Structure 1
Amino acid sequence: MITDDKSRWSDLFSGKNSAIAIALSLGVALHAINILVASTILPSVVQDIGGLDLYAWNTTLFVVTSILGSVLSARLLHRNGARGAYLVASLFFILGAMLCALAPSMPVMLVGRTVQGFGGGLIFALSYAMVSLAFEQRLWPRAMALISAMWGIATLVGPAVGGIFAELHIWRWAFGILLPIMVLYAAFTFYILPPGKPQQQGAPLPVLQLLLLAAAVLIVSAGSLAARGWINVGGIALALLLMVWLIRREGHAYARLLPYAALRRGSAMVSLYATLSLLVVGMTSEIFVPYFLQTLHGQSPLISGYIAATMAAGWTLAEVLSSGWRGVGIRRAIVSGPILLLIGLLALAMLMPIPSGGDWQTLASIVAALTLVGFGIGFGWPHLLTRILQVAPQADKGIAGASITTVQLFATAFGAALAGMVTNLAGFTAPGGVAGAASAAYWLFLLFALAPLLAIYTAWCSNEVGHVEQIPDTGARQEQA
C-alpha cells in the first residue's frame, strides 16, 4: 500500500544514505549526459561520416542493448555485489565511448553505440534496483525523483559538450571527454559501494523474452528503412505478434522479465507499465528535435541542443515539484501528466514544421511546448515508479526495480524505431532538406500525440492500484515453467 510517512530531501543525504545517493545519481547523470551529447552531435556526425538513413538506428541500437543490460543488472548485482556490478558496467561504457570517438563510418559508430548502450543500461538499471535495497520505503519517491532529476543536470552539461565540439568540428572529442570521467566514476563507486557477497545461484535468465523484445524493436527499425509503406506496416504487425508471444510466455515462465503476474488480466501493474510506456513513447520524438531546429529554424548545434534539452528540464522540474505529494495529489499528478504531454506534442506539430529563420517568438513557443512535454512526463513519474515497487511481491522487488528500466528502455527503443519509420515515410530522406524536414516534423508530432491520448485512460486506471497476488511456492512455479 502507499505509505503516508513523510520524508524530507535532507533524509536522503544524511548518514549512510548520502554516499549511496551520490553514487546512484552520478551514474544516471553520466548516462543521461551521454545520450544528450550524442543527440546534439548526430547532425554533425552525419555530415562528416554519412549515414543519414541510419540516423534513428543510433538510438534504436543503443536502447536495445540497454534493455539487455538492464535485465542482466539484477543478476550482475546478485553475483558480484554493488561494487563489482558497477565496475563491469563502467568498463562496457568506456569501451563503447572509445569506439564512438574513433569511428570512421556510421556502421562503426553503431557498433560503439551498441556497446555503450549495454554499459549504460547496466548503470541505469542498477541505480533503480538499488533504491529498494538501500533506502527505507518512505524515501523511495525522493530517491526515484533524485535519480530521474539527473536528466536536468544533464541538460546543462550534455548539449554544451556536444554543441561546442560540434561547432568546433571535433565531435569525436565529445565522446572522448567521457572516458576520463567514467574512469574516475568507476574508481569512486569501487571505493564507496560495499563489495557484497558473490552468490553463484540466481534466477535463470529470461532468454526467450529478451530475444523477443530485441527482435520486435529491430524489426520495426529495419522496416523503417524501407520506402514502401506496406513493409513498414508489416514490420509493426510482426512486432506486435512477437509482443503477444512475449506476454503469453511471461505469464507462465519461471525466468521472468517482470514481477510475478504483472501482465495478468486485472493485475495492478498492467496500467502502471502501460502508462509508463506510453509516456516514454511520446517523449522519443525528441531525438529528431535538434535536426529540425537546425534545418528548419537555422539554429547552431549548441543552441539546438539546449532547446531540445528543455524537455528534460521540464521533466526534472515537475518531478521535484511533485515528489513530496501524497494522497489526492499523487492521483492528480499521474492523470494530469498525459494531458500536458498531449497538449505539448500537438503544439509542436503546429509550430515545428514552419521554417522561422530563427524568429525568437517562434522559438520561444517551441521551447514552451518542449517544456510542457517534459512536465507531462515528470509530474507523475516518481509516483508511477514507486507504485511499481510497492505493489510487487516481496520476493520480486529486485526484478521490479530492474523492470522499470527494462520497460522504459523498450518503450524508448520502440518509440525511436517508430519515429524513424514515420519520418522516413514523411520525406525525411526523400525529398529531404527543408521540405522533407517540415513534413517529417508535422507527421511525427501529430501521430505521436496518440500515445499520451491513450495514456490518459491507463493513468486513470492506475489510480486503482492494489497489491498483486503472492508468488506461489517454488515447486508450483517450476511446474508452470
Structure 2
Amino acid sequence: MSERELGWGALLAGRNGVRSLALAGGVALHAINVYVATTILPSVVADIGGLDFYAWNTTLFVVASIIGSALSAKLLQGTGPRGAYLTAVALFAAGTLVCAFAPTMEVMLVGRTIQGLGGGFLFALSYAMIRIVFDEALWPRAMALVSGMWGVATLVGPAVGGIFAELNAWRAAFWIMIPLALLFGFLAFATLPARNQDGNERSNLPFAQLFLLVVAVLALSVGSVRADLAWNAAGLAVAATVFALLVLVERGAVSRLLPRGSFSVTAPLGVLFATMSLLAITVTASEIFVPLFLQVLHAQPPLVAGYLAAAMAAGWTVGSIASSGAQGRGAARVIVAAPVLGLLGLVTLSLLVPTVSDGRWLVLGPITVALLIVGFGVGLGWPHLLTRVLQVAPKDEQDLASVSITTVQLCATAVGAALAGMVVNLGGLTVPGGVPGTSSAAFWLFAAFSIAPLAGILTAVRAAVLKQGVKASV
C-alpha cells in the first residue's frame, strides 16, 4: 500500500469519509454533552432545584457510561455494527429527551443515567467499528480522529452551554443534541455493515465483574468527598479490595469483562492498558481543577479560565493528529514520549500554578504552554497504544478488545477524578481554604499526580516494543 493510500485522504474521502463522520460524530456528541451539561448545571439547579443531588449528575452519568462501554461487545455481537450503533443513538436521544423535559432533579438524574448508558455505547462502539470498517493501515489515523473529538468538545461544549445558560434556556441545550444524534444515526444506517463478517465471539454478560467494577468506582468516589484522611483511606481500602476481587473473578470467568491478559503487567495487553490508564490519570488532574485554580490564584473570569484549561485537550488533539502517520520506530518513539512530556508538563504546573498572580500573561503564558505539553504528549502516543491493543488481542476476543479501550479509559478517568478530589481536599482546598488553601492544593495535586507519568515511562518503554502478532497471554 502506498504512502498516499495511508494518508488522511484515504480515511476522509468517499465512503470512508462518511463512516469517519458517523464514528467521530458519535464521540463528539457524547463528549460535547459532557461539557454542555457541566456548564448548564447551575442554571438547572436554579430552575428545578436539587442542589443536594448536584454531584450525582456526573457520578451517575459516568457510572452508566462505564456500564454501556463494558456491555458494548455483547451489543455488537447481538445486533451487528449497524444495529448496535442505532441502539446507542436511540438510548442517547431518549435520555436527552428526558433531560430536556425534566420537571425535577430526580427526573433529570433518570435522564442523565440513560444518556450516560447511550453515550458509553457510542463512545466504545466508535472505537470498535474502526477495526471492522477500515483497513488496518488506517487504524492509527482513525483512532486519532475519534480521540481528537474530545479536544473539539472541550472548545465547543462550554461555549454552547454558556450561551444557553445566559439566555435562561438550558432545556434548549439538550434539545439541539437530539437532531444531531438522529443525523449520526442516519449516517450509520447508510454506511455501516449490518453484520460483523469476522465476528466469531459469543459470550454471556459478565454481570459479576461489571457489578464489582461499579462498586469499586463508587467506593472511590464516595471516599473522595470529605477532607478526612480516615474517610479517604476507607474509600481506597474498599475500592482496592473490591478491585482485587474483580481480578480474581475475572481470571476464572467464562464471560469476561476484558480480554485475556488485561490484568497482568507481564502480558502485552496488561502493559498497554496500564500505560493508557496512567496517561488518562495524568490528564485528569489538569482537566478538573485547573479552571478553579486559575480563577482563585490568577484572577481569571470563569469563561477565560475554562478555555485556558482547554489548552490540554487542544494539545491532545494536535498531538494525535500529528503522530497518526508514524510507523515502526517512529510509533515506538512517540509512545515513550507521551509520559515523558506529561511528566514535564505536570512538574512545570506544580511550580507555576500555586503562585499567586494578577493574571498577567507573563505567568499565564507558561502555564498554558505546560497544559499544551501535557495534552500534546498524551495525544502523541494515544493512537498507537490503541492500535497495538487491537493488534495484540487474541483473535477470538477482537470485539471485546475493541470496546475495552473505552472501558479502561472511562474507569481510569473516574479513578483519577476521585484521587484528585482526595488530594486537593487533603491539600487544603476546603480547610483552610481561600487563596492559601487553594495554592497548597494546587501544588500537592500536580506533585502527586506526577507519579502517574513517571510510572508511565516504565510501562511505555515496554509497550513501545510490542509488535503486531504478539498475543496476550492466557
CA–CA distance in 2 between the matches of 1:56 and 1:110?
10
With 462-471 and 149-158 compared, the bigger mean Cα shift is at: 462-471
Residues 232-279 of structure 1: per-residue CA shift (max 9 Å, x gap): 112112211222222222222111122223334631111111000000
What secondary structure does 2:355 align onto?
coil
- Contact 1:5/1:138 (CA < 8 Å) preserved in 2? no
What is the deviation of 1:417? 1.5
How far apart, in 1, do the equivalents of 2:305 and 2:102 lie? 24
In structure 2, the residue matched to 1:91 is 90
Partner of 1:143: 142
Q: Which moved more, 1:187-196 or 1:457-466?
A: 187-196
TM-score under structure 1 length normalisation: 0.88
The aligned residue for residue 438 of structure 1 is 439
- Note the alpha carbon deviations across 1:407-427, whole angstroms, 9 max, x for none: 011101111121222233334
Larger mean CA deviation between 114-123 and 310-319 belongs to 114-123
CA contact (8 A) 1:315 1:374 kept: yes
Partner Cα distance (1:61, 1:30) in 2:
18
Aligned to 1:478: none
Unaligned ranges ≥5, structure 2: none
d(CA) in 1 for partners of 2:163, 2:293:
19
Query: Which secondary structure state, in structure 1, belongs to the residue aligned with residue 148 of structure 2?
Result: helix
Question: Contact (CA 8 Å) 1:39, 1:290: kept in 2 or not?
Answer: no
The 3 A distance-change label for structure 1 pair 341 and 61 is farther
Distance 1:51 1:349, change over 3 A: farther
Residue aligned with 1:343, SS: helix
- Does the 8 Å CA contact 2:425/2:431 hold for their aligned counterparts? yes
Shift of 1:462: 1.3
% same residue: 55
Q: What is the deviation of 1:127?
A: 0.6
The residue number in structure 1 matching 2:215 is 215
Residues 47 and 438 of structure 1, relative CA distance in 2, 3 Å threshold: farther
TM-score, length of structure 2 as denominator length: 0.89
Displacement of 1:351 in angstroms is: 2.6
1:275 counterpart = 2:269: no
Asked if residue 234 in structure 1 is aligned to residue 252 in structure 2, the reply is no
Pick which of 36-45 and 248-257 moved more. 36-45
Q: Do the aligned residues in 1 keep the contact of 2:18 with 2:187 (CA within 8 Å)?
A: no
Partner of 2:83: helix, strand, or coil?
helix
- Gap change, CA 1:376 and 1:49, over 3 Å in 2: farther
**Cα root mean square deviation, aligned:** 3.0
Q: How does 1:18-417 map to 2 (within 5 A)?
A: 18-41=17-40, 58-101=57-100, 110-168=109-167, 170-196=169-195, 202-264=202-264, 266-285=266-285, 286-417=287-418
Could you tell which deviates more after superposition, 168-177 or 383-392?
168-177
| Residue equivalent to 2:466 | 465
Please give the alpha-carbon distance, in whole angstroms, between the structure 2 residues aligned to 1:81 and 1:177.
28
Q: Where in structure 1 are there 5+ consecutive unaligned residues?
A: 473-481
Q: Alpha carbons of 1:201 and 1:415: their partners in 2 closer, same or farther (altered >3 Å)? A: closer
Cα distance in 1, alignment partners of residues 48 and 292 from structure 2: 16
Indicate how the Cα distance of structure 1 residues 51 and 459 shifts in structure 2: closer, same or farther if over 3 A, else same: farther
User: Relative contact order (C-alpha < 8 Å, sep 6+): which is higher?
Assistant: 1
**Which piece of structure 1 moves more, 301-310 or 376-385?**
301-310
Question: Deviation at 1:318?
Answer: 0.7
C-alpha offsets along residues 176-206 of structure 1, whole Å, 9 cap, x if unaligned?
4323322333333334434448999931111
Q: Structure 1 residues 310 and 135 mapped into 2: Cα distance closer, same or farther (>3 Å)?
A: same
Per-residue CA deviations over 1:294-344 (Å, capped at 9, x if unaligned) read 343343333233222211110011111111112221121111110111121
Whether the 8 Å contact between 2:227 and 2:422 is mirrored in structure 1 is no
Q: Work out the CA distance in 2 between the residues paired with 1:441 and 1:114.
A: 32
**Kindly tell me: are residues 15 and 347 of structure 1, through their superposed partners in 2, closer, same or farther at Cα, counting changes over 3 Å?**
same
For the residue of structure 2 that corresponds to 1:259, the secondary structure is coil
Verify the 8 A CA contact 1:251 1:261 in the aligned structure 2: no
TM-aligned CA deviation for residue 124 of structure 1: 0.6
